[in-house]
Amino acid sequence: MEKNLNLNLKVWRQKNASDKGKFEEYKVNNISTDMSFLEMFDVLNDKLVTEDKDPIAFDHDCREGICGSCSMFINGQPHGPKQGVTTCQLHMRSFNDGDTIVVEPWRASPFPVIKDLVVDRSAFDRIISAGGFISVNTGNAQDANAIPIPKENADEAFAAAACIGCGACVAACKNASAMLFVSAKVSQFALLPQGQPERHQRVSEMVAQMDLEGFGACTNTGACSAECPKGISLTHIARMNRDYLAASLSSNEK
């Protein structure tokens, strides 16, 4: 049965990356439990606009859990209290009437705040650009079954490719490490025959770019995987470490 909630919100407001920023408190009433978290923010912003106040900036696109844009830290957890969901998939039935909900942006120096709850995650794009590619020959498309791939490898590559690059792993990590994200992007190619020609070059360049962007080191606490809305496994980090070591040894032999 649908219920309505009256909620207290503490939302981080920040004009830009150089602004100090602060929490501001808002009340929202008659919020349907069937609403998503972002729909609740739409209601709040409509209220702010009618009061001639600046609406809260937040990032979103698909609202279907596949774009990774809706990066919010909710009550101390990336994307909120539910496992395996993004903010846009989080429904207000996960909260109780009278709750106080604290909402803030990702906290990591490589993700500078653009405004309010919007952060610049272009560091991820630069990491992918540094090596997230495969060589292809032009001409007719190859037959689908011309390259046999073990089902186990195909399934694991698909699971790695499910990473949406939302940055929850970075936000959850005490070191702001991007190892889970980078390892997923490395693994989705490393597990397939098509990804073998640049395998060593790819991992070396992506790790180098990750370090250049200022992400922290991995200390294997597992918070990244626990908070990942797509359940990306820590085994990808182990695979990337092995590939990086192999690439380093191969480079030293030349």
Which domains are delineated in the chain? 4-114 (3.10.20.30), 122-253 (1.10.1060.10)
- Contacts from 145-148 at CB under 8 Å and sequence distance 24+? 147/193, 147/194
Q: Is 180 within 8 Å of 235 (Cβ atoms)?
A: no
CB atoms within 10 A of CB 231: 12
Tell me which H or E stretch contains 26.
strand 22-32
Low-confidence ranges of the chain (pLDDT < 50): none
64, two tokens: 């279907």
Question: pLDDT at position 2, please?
Answer: 62
Tell me which H or E stretch contains 210.
helix 199-213
CA distances from 227 to 51, 77, 85, 103, 242 (A): 36, 8, 9, 16, 24
Which residue in 111, 104, 78, 92 sits closest to 11, CA to CA? 104
- DSSP-derived 3-state class of residue 205: helix
- DSSP-derived 3-state class of residue 10: strand
Question: pLDDT at position 157, please?
Answer: 96
- Crossing angle for the helix pair 179-190 and 199-213, nearest 10 degrees? 170
Which residue in 17, 165, 170 sits closest to 108, CA to CA? 170
Residue at 22: amino acid letter: K
CB atoms within 10 A of CB 205: 18
Question: pLDDT at position 204, please?
Answer: 96
Question: pLDDT at position 141, please?
Answer: 67
C-alpha–C-alpha distance, residues 196 and 231, integer Å: 25
